[in-house]
Amino acid sequence: MDLEKLLSDRLAPAFAAVAGVPVDPVVRRSQHADFQSDAALGLARRLGRPPRAVAEEVRERAELADLCAAVDVSGPGFLNLTVADRTLAGMVSALAVDPRLGVPVVAEPETVVVDYSAPNVAKEMHVGHLRSTVIGDAAARTLEWLGHRVSRANHLGDWGTPFGMLIEHLVDLGEAEAAQELSMGDLDTFYTAARAKFDGDDAFRERSRSRVVALQGGDPATLRLWRLLVAQSESYFLTVYDLLDVTLSRADFRGESSYHDLLAPTVGELDRLGLLRRSDGAECVFPPGSVGRDGEPLPLIVRKSDGGYGYPATDLAALRHRTGTLGATRLLYVVGLPQRRHFEMVFAVAAQAGWLTPPARAEHVGFGSILGADGRMLRSRAGGSVKLVGLLTEAVERATALARERSPELDETEAAEVGRAVGIGAIKFADLSGDRHKDYVLDWERMLALDGNTAPYLQYAYSRIRSIFRRAGVAARPDAGISLAEPAERALAVELVGFAAVVDAVAGSLEFHHLAAYLHRLAAAFSAFYERCPVLRAEGPVRESRLVLCDLTARVLHQGLHLLGIRTPERL
Ligand code: ARG
C-alpha cells in the first residue's frame, strides 16, 4: 500500500540488471512529477557512463506500465514517475475501506523501551523535560500503533545525595506543610529553601549527610519520609501529564531508586569481566573509542570514591534490566543533547559487557534547547528557569482568548475545550515540527497562527471537513468509486496515499518533523482541492468521490495528529 515502496520494488530489478549489483532506486516525492529517482546519477559515475543513457536503459527495462502513466528521463539523468490515475484511484479506494489508512501492523513486533520525561523529585520540571515528554510520547504512540510492545520508562530522578537535604527540610517544615507546598507544584520554592540551608547552615548540612547514610542503609523512618516526597512529586507530575495529554501514567514511573538492588550485581559483573579500572579512587570503565579533547581515554565512573553508585551506574543497571529481563531489542533514550557523551559511553560499556548485543540496540534520541524570543536559553522574567506549568497555562489562556475572538458562537465550556486542545496542540506541534536536533525559538504568535506549519492550521482543516459532513448531514460511502479528473483532486490523492511511507520512515528515524511536514502538505493539498472542487454542490459519482476524499483527509489528519499527541476538536 506504500506507493514509494511499490515503485521502488519495480525499479530495483531494472537498476540491478544495468548495474550488475543491487542498487537502491531512492524513490522520492518530487515537484516535477509525482515521484523521482536520482539513483542513475550515482550509478553512472560508478559505471563511467553518461547518466542520461543509464537512466534511459533503466527506464526501458523497468516494468511500470501498469502503475505509471509516464516515465521520463529528465535533467542530468533523473527518472520522473507519473502515477496513472487509475492506480491512484485504486489506492484511494483501498484506503477508504482500511481502518488503518494503509499503515500495516508490523510483521515482527519488538519490545521497545521508551525512556522519557524523567523529571527529578522535588524539583520543577523545566522546558528540557517538556521536550523529552512530547517527543517521547510521540515515539511511544507511534511504535505502539505499529504493533510494537512499548514499555514507557519514566526514569524519575528519585535517588541520590540531594535527598538528605530534601528530607531534612521536610522534617523542618513539618509533613503537612511540606505536602501542601509540594502538591501545589511549588517545587522550586521547596528545593531552593533546602539548598539555601544546606549551603549556609553547618548543622543542617551535617543532618543532611547522616540522612543520606540512613536512606542508603534502608532506615524505615527515613524511607517513609523519602516515599512521601516521591509520592507528592509523582502526583504533581501526573497533573502536568494530564494537562499535556501525555500517555504516561502512574504505572510508568521507573525511578532511579527502582534499580537500587541491581547496582551492586551490575558493577560486580563488570568486575568479573575484567572491565573495571581504578582511577583517582573511583571504579571506572574505559570504553574503547571514548577519548576527550586532549586524546586521553575517558572513564565512565561506575562507583565513586565514596563507594556510592551514581547516574552512570544506574543507567547501566537499567539497560541491563531492559535487555536482559524485559527482553527489549530497541531502547530509546529521549534526553537532551548535552547528555550525548553520557549515553555513548553507557552504550559502549553495555556492549562490551554483552548486555547490548544485536538485535538489541540503543538510541539516544537527542534534542536541542527551547530558546526565548531573544535567541537565548528560555528564562523567566526573574531570570530563573521557566516553569513548565506556567508555560502550558499561558498557551491554554492565549488559545482560549483567540477561540472566543474567532468563534463568538462557542459557549464558555466549548471555548475552554477548544483553548486547551489548541494551546497544548500548538506547544507540542512547535516542538515536533522542527528538526529535533536543533534549538528552536518559542514564538507564541507563530505557533498559534491559523496559517503556516502549525497545530491550529491542521486542527482547523480537520474541523472544516467535519463541518462539511455536519452541515450536509451526509456521510462518505467508503465503497464509492473514486474519480480524479481535476488536478487538485489528483494532488490530494497523491498525498493521501503517502501516509504509510511517512509513518514507516518516522518509526525508524523518530524525526517527527517529517510527519508534521507531511500533515501540513496534506492540509494544504486539501485547501487547494476544496477551493477548486465543489463537494456538496457536485452531483452523482463526482460528489460521492469527493466526499470520500474529504473523509479520508480528516481521518489521516486525525490519526497523524493523534500520533503526535495532538487533539482534533470537531469545531474550532
Ligand atoms: N533525570 C534526568 C534529568 O533531569 C534525565 C534522565 C534521563 N534518562 C536516563 N535514563 N538517564 O536530566
Atom of ligand 1 nearest to the CA of 315: 10
Query: 539 lies in a domain?
Result: yes
Q: What is the reported pLDDT for 383?
A: 65
Instruction: Establish whether residue 315 lines the binding site of ligand 1, counting it when its CB lies within 6 angstroms of any ligand atom.
Output: yes
One domain, residues 200 and 65? no
Query: 220 lies in a domain?
Result: yes
Compute the distance from residue 289 Cα to the ligand 1 centre, in Å.
23
Compute the distance from residue 397 Cα to the ligand 1 centre, in Å.
30
Q: What is the reported pLDDT for 78?
A: 97
One domain, residues 461 and 547? yes
User: Rounded distance, CA 55 to CA 41, Å?
Assistant: 8
One domain, residues 135 and 173? no
**pLDDT beneath 70: ranges in the chain:** 1, 184-185, 380-385
> What is the DSSP code string of 493-543?
HHHHTTHHHHHHHHHHH--THHHHHHHHHHHHHHHHHHHHS-STTS-HHHH
Q: What is the reported pLDDT for 81?
A: 97
Query: 396 lies in a domain?
Result: yes
The total of structural domains in the chain comes to 5
User: What DSSP character marks residue 167?
Assistant: H
One domain, residues 143 and 166? no
Residue minimizing CA distance to atom 5 of ligand 1: 118
pLDDT, one tens digit per residue, over 400-446 is: 999 999 899 999 999 999 999 999 999 999 999 999 999 999 888 89
| CATH number reported for the structural domain that contains residue 535 in this entry | 1.10.730.10
Pocket test for ligand 1, best of 154, 155, 319 (most atoms within 8 A of CB): 155
User: Rounded distance, CA 26 to CA 474, Å?
Assistant: 42
Compute the distance from residue 478 Cα to the ligand 1 centre, in Å.
47
Instruction: Establish whether residue 136 lines the binding site of ligand 1, counting it when its CB lies within 6 angstroms of any ligand atom.
Output: no
Instruction: Establish whether residue 155 lines the binding site of ligand 1, counting it when its CB lies within 6 angstroms of any ligand atom.
Output: yes
Q: What is the dihedral of CA 501, 504, 508, 514, to 10 degrees?
A: 50
Question: Cβ atoms within 10 A of the Cβ of 297, count?
Answer: 14
Q: What is the reported pLDDT for 1?
A: 60
* CA-closest candidate to residue 556, choices 507, 513, 528, 521: 521
Cα of first residue to Cα of last residue in the chain, in angstroms, is 33
Q: What is the ipTM of this complex?
A: 0.99
One domain, residues 487 and 554? yes
One domain, residues 465 and 558? yes
One domain, residues 152 and 166? no
Query: 88 lies in a domain?
Result: no
One domain, residues 179 and 199? yes
One domain, residues 318 and 301? yes
| CATH number reported for the structural domain that contains residue 31 in this entry | 3.30.1360.70
One domain, residues 350 and 226? no
Residue minimizing CA distance to atom 11 of ligand 1: 315
Q: What is the reported pLDDT for 379?
A: 73
One domain, residues 233 and 268? no
Query: 382 lies in a domain?
Result: no
Among 216, 247, 278, the domain-final residue is: 247
Give, for 253, the enclosing helix (H) or strand (E). none
Query: 376 lies in a domain?
Result: no
| Grid cell in block for residue 329 | 531489542
Q: What is the reported pLDDT for 87?
A: 95
User: What is the domain range of residue 402?
Assistant: 388-446
Residue minimizing CA distance to atom 6 of ligand 1: 118
Instruction: Establish whether residue 259 lines the binding site of ligand 1, counting it when its CB lies within 6 angstroms of any ligand atom.
Output: no
* CA-closest candidate to residue 466, choices 563, 551, 408: 551
One domain, residues 422 and 497? no
Query: 403 lies in a domain?
Result: yes
pLDDT, one tens digit per residue, over 474-492 is: 999 999 999 999 999 999 9
Compute the distance from residue 479 Cα to the ligand 1 centre, in Å.
50
| CATH number reported for the structural domain that contains residue 322 in this entry | 3.40.50.620
User: What DSSP character marks residue 297?
Assistant: B
Query: 274 lies in a domain?
Result: yes
